[in-house]
Amino acid sequence: MTAATPTPARTVRRTPKKAGAAPPGGPRRNGSVPGRIALYATLTVLLLAFVAPMVWALSASFKPRADIFEYPPNLIPSPATLENFRNLLNGEPFWNWFAISVVTALLATVIAVFVCALAGFAFAKYRFAGKRILFSVMFSSLSVPFAVILVPLFVLVVKSGLSNPWFALIVPWVAPAFGIFMMQQYIVQSIPDEILEAARIDGATEFGIFLRVVLPLLRPPLGALAVWQFLHSYNSFLWPLVLISETDRYTIPLGLNILFKAENRSFDLVLPGAVLASVPTILVFLLLRKQLLEGLSTGAVKG
Amino acid sequence: MTALQAPPHGRPDGGPGKRPDGPRGAGRKQRQLAPYLFIAPFYVLYGLFMIIPIGAGIYLSMTEWVGLGTPEFIGFDNFANLARDTSFHKALGNSLIYVLISVLVVVPAALLIAQALNTKGLRARDLFRVTFFIPMVLSPIVIALVYSLLLDRNNGLVNALLRALFGAGNTDWLGDPTLARLSVGFVLLWRWVGYLTIFFLAALQAVPKERYEAAELDGAGVFRTFTAVTLPGIRPVTAFVVVTSFIGAAQLFDEPFLITGGGPGEETLSVAMFVYRAAFDRQQFGYAAAAGLVLFVIVFGVSQILNRLLSIGRTS
């Protein structure tokens, strides 16, 4: 045998850092009672600063148009009314906007998660010629500002007849470099080489290994990336703004934008719109917050 | 089957004929090809939707084109005009302000909040962490319209509150140049700080406890511990956060576009907004492409330098 030393199965295996779940190992022994009180007071004030605008908007969306700017604002609208919601849903193609936003974001998310996991796996677990340079090319695409491709991409997409939102809102955005980076970091840290070897000996193909061995182990970063990508697609504004001109093909942000820019500043329509628009993202975030917050930090801590 | 029994693989030569070579050889070939196939989807999309557009942008930047007919080649005239264009200068200056707000205000604020959240035995840490993150989840348009209603000069809650407290609340938050910039900056802070806090908090939790104990034994105070233990411990994350914020703020579009519309006048206009207006309000596609390219060169150049200096983004 030429290779006397078998490729050492890497024994040192790092488990991913669990940022949120880590026991409170804080540095400061802030034992003093006044210190504690000051800390909680500061954090609570901050909490209110974050929550107040959202609560105000939520509450105002149930107020009659005349009460929206009342001072002092009542937390519980009285009288409360669904009038604003009814006007929005009856007068505007809101559900169209909603459907286009949600479906394009979901499709982009499913594809992106798969593409990123596959590429992240390749960068984490294979040695191949050109890997370093390919990785830096991928990574450096993070620092390309969108403004530079905005105009030429728009021109190319329109000229090639691909400006249909179902193509143009999805396909260009399904391979985010950040996602590949995040996957690569996680796989390096937490997928041991041994299980890949074992699968190879069992005769699995490389793609089979990815699909049946690696992918099931990637649930935390897949969840993180899924939320991240969903938020990005769903909230994106500039690209849909230049791309879509027909009102009933608008995404939610575009729809809210025209309502708000309308001459009579229809804030009684815009507020319920904002509330409804935030439901999917807040829901997705609350459901998958653990994965997202931990997934974001694993990548960066090792970064 | 345990991994320990795995026979060695990856020998540099073809391998002695001891074993049937067929399936092994095929396996090796497949294994050499696999990574390229796995990264191919990314590079196809990258080529189509990044490299080609950048190339097309370089070409467009040297033309004059209203979007119809053939672009007329004019060499570097667009760049020469940009150099003289006062609204482009204004946009560059404003984007610089947004970058400075991000890097010098938002990033340190995130570190402070993370430090507070990292306090030993803090209750409700998760509640704070999750709530601070929520602005990042909302659409910029939602944030923008809520803040423009709150900051409205006549009806806004902020002025109403000032009137009630101090009897004078006629501040034109979005109409005065300085205040408009500050308002955009405040919304940036509100939107980004919780997101960046997540990274800092994870980094702080990863600093080995022994280092803090050693510092305590040496009698180091809070400030000394922070500069000697905490900061070096979180350096990689700080680098990542600074670069991310820099790139994000340099290409800022949504907030100024939605909150102030770039106004009053062009006092909050960002470079990305300048590009948008040139192309889609005035149909100067070549000129817009040139402005986009200038932003690209600055952002890409600075972030490559930062990456190199702070050594991030390497394969393991």
Q: Which chain A residues are within 8 Å of B56, Cβ to Cβ?
A: 152, 155-156
Query: Average pLDDT of B38-60?
Result: 95
**Which pLDDT value is given to residue A3?**
36
Structure tokens at B97: 């302000």
Containing domain of residue B97, as a range? 87-310
Asked if B82 reaches chain A (Cβ–Cβ under 8 Å), the answer is no
Distance (Å, whole) CA B59 – CA B51? 12
Kindly indicate the confidence band of residue A8, based on its pLDDT and cuts at 50, 70 and 90: very low
Q: How many CB atoms lie within 10 A of CB B228?
A: 15
Structure tokens at B316: 């393991």
* Beta bridge pairs of residue B64: B72
Query: 3-class SS at A51?
Result: helix
Rg of the Cα atoms in chain A: 25
Average pLDDT of chain A is: 85
Place of tokens 């488990």: A15
**Which pLDDT value is given to residue A301?**
58
Residues contacting B314, CB < 8 A, separation 6+? A135
In a domain, B92, yes or no: yes
Is the per-residue pLDDT at B134 higher than 50? yes
Taking alpha carbons only, the member of B147, B164, B160, B259 closest to residue A50 is B147
pLDDT above 90 as % of chain A: 59
The CATH number linked to B232 is: 1.10.3720.10
- pLDDT tens column, A219-270: 889 999 999 999 999 999 999 999 998 888 999 999 999 988 886 677 889 9
In a domain, B46, yes or no: no
**Is the CB of residue A250 less than 8 Å from the CB of residue A244?**
yes
Distance (Å, whole) CA B264 – CA B250? 20
Q: Which residues in chain B (24-43) have CB-CB distances under 8 A to chain A?
A: 27, 30-32, 34-39, 41-43
Q: Which chain A residues are within 8 Å of B49, Cβ to Cβ?
A: 149, 153, 171-172
In a domain, B224, yes or no: yes
What is the end-to-end Cα distance of chain A in Å, rounded? 39
- Indicate yes or no: CB of B120 within 8 angstroms of CB of A27: yes
Q: Which chain B residues are within 8 Å of A153, Cβ to Cβ?
A: 49, 53
What was the ipTM of the complex prediction?
A: 0.85
Distance (Å, whole) CA A26 – CA B207? 9
Distance (Å, whole) CA A79 – CA A71? 15
Question: For an interface test with B, which of A54, A118, A143, A153 has the most B Cβ atoms less than 10 Å from its Cβ?
Answer: A143
Structure tokens at A192: 């041991």
Is the per-residue pLDDT at A303 higher than 80? no
- Indicate yes or no: CB of A6 within 8 angstroms of CB of B304: no
Taking alpha carbons only, the member of B152, B172, B173, B180 closest to residue B94 is B180
Query: Average pLDDT of B155-177?
Result: 86
Distance (Å, whole) CA A193 – CA A196? 5
A285-289, B35-39, B144-148, B218-222: segment of lowest average pLDDT: B218-222
- Indicate yes or no: CB of B140 within 8 angstroms of CB of A242: no
In a domain, B296, yes or no: yes
**Is the CB of residue A150 less than 8 Å from the CB of residue A236?**
no
In a domain, B315, yes or no: no
In a domain, B12, yes or no: no
Asked if B170 reaches chain A (Cβ–Cβ under 8 Å), the answer is no
Residue among B117, B291, B300 whose CB faces A143 most closely: B300
Residue A67 identity (one-letter amino acid): D
Residue among B56, B127, B316 whose CB faces A156 most closely: B56
In a domain, B118, yes or no: yes
**Residue B178 distance to chain A (closest CA, Å):** 22
Domains and CATH numbers, chain A: 33-81 (no CATH), 92-302 (1.10.3720.10)
Average pLDDT of chain B is: 86
Is the per-residue pLDDT at B2 higher than 60? no
Total domains, chain B: 1
pLDDT above 70 as % of chain A: 87
Taking alpha carbons only, the member of B125, B241, B255, B239 closest to residue B181 is B255
pTM of the model: 0.86
Helix (H) or strand (E) holding B64: strand B63-64
Query: Average pLDDT of B254-278?
Result: 93
Taking alpha carbons only, the member of B232, B298, B265, B292 closest to residue B55 is B292
In a domain, B95, yes or no: yes
